[in-house]
Amino acid sequence: MSSKLSGMSAPSHSSETAQQTVSFDHTFRRRLRDLLIWRRDVRRFRRDPLPEGTLNDLIELACLAPSVGLSQPWRFVIVDDAARRETIRHNFATCNAAALAAQERERAALYAQLKLAGLVEAPAHLAVFADRATAQGHGLGRHTMPEMIEYSAVTAVHTIWLAARAQGVGMGWVSILDPQVVAAALDVPPEWKFIGYFCLGYPQTDDTIPELQQSGWEQRRLPTSVIVRR
């Protein structure tokens, strides 16, 4: 299945012409900074649906993401089926209950109050996998670090996150799931490694502060604290 996906030679994007140059001005950079500042992990969605084709448009942009060896190992499953969604929701509830039970006593009460998914309200559901068996890229860059396939799929996720936010659509990452249950529920090939499950929709509110910070779970650290020089 992995390499049997159709469309190996994707249509070139209009902006993909060789030997063109492009520059981004100060205004664009300021807006890009705004985009990064205002991107949030969203769990509180309005229920109104996204316009037809939104997910496909976002996935098209995600396919411009970098990938090891140009392997483009990302695989997207748009989950519309009510029964499959229900299986995911049920699995989240099970995994979240187990995660709560594993919390230290002094953290458990706070954990129990967190909203960690918008699976009920979000109008759009998307699962992302990395195809470990893909022949695309001919193995370049994976010899010593095979996990680069998964890293590549994550770059596509972040691209969608930003592209969605740019059009006012919120996205929330749901990782409190059993990958085997997700793979079975979505009936994907065994070579596809589960990367994440994503809720998308219009956010109830916009914010510059992560919800986990607002709820007192964790603080952002200073950028200077993550830099070392050697």
Ligand X SMILES: Cc1cc2nc3c(=O)[nH]c(=O)nc-3n(C[C@H](O)[C@H](O)[C@H](O)COP(=O)(O)O)c2cc1C
Of 75, 97, 92, 117, the C-alpha closest to 181 is 92
Cβ nearer to ligand X, comparing 20 with 219: 219
**Phi, psi of 170, rounded to the nearest 5 degrees:** -95, 155
Cβ nearer to ligand X, comparing 137 with 172: 172
Q: How far is the CB of 142 from ligand X (least distance, A)?
A: 21
Residues 45-64 that bind ligand X (CB under 6 A): none
Q: How far is the CB of 210 from ligand X (least distance, A)?
A: 3
Is the Cβ–Cβ distance between 200 and 55 less than 8 Å? yes
Q: Does 116 bind ligand X (CB under 6 A)?
A: yes
Q: Does 117 bind ligand X (CB under 6 A)?
A: yes
Q: How far is the CB of 28 from ligand X (least distance, A)?
A: 22
How far is the C-alpha of 91 from the C-alpha of 98, rounded, in Å?
11
Phi-psi category of residue 179: left, alpha or beta, with phi > 0 → left and psi -120 to 50 → alpha: alpha
Q: Does 175 bind ligand X (CB under 6 A)?
A: yes
Q: Which residues of 23-57 are buried (b: 16+ CB within 10 A; e: fewer)?
A: eeeeeeeeeeeeeeeebbbbbbbeeeebeeebbee
Q: How far is the CB of 188 from ligand X (least distance, A)?
A: 19
Q: Does 210 bind ligand X (CB under 6 A)?
A: yes
Q: Which uninterrupted H or E stretch holds 173? A: strand 170-174
Q: Does 181 bind ligand X (CB under 6 A)?
A: no
Q: How far is the CB of 1 from ligand X (least distance, A)?
A: 25
Give SS3 for 110.
Answer: helix
Q: Does 129 bind ligand X (CB under 6 A)?
A: no
Interface ranges with ligand X (CB under 6 A): 40-41, 43, 116-117, 173-176, 210, 212
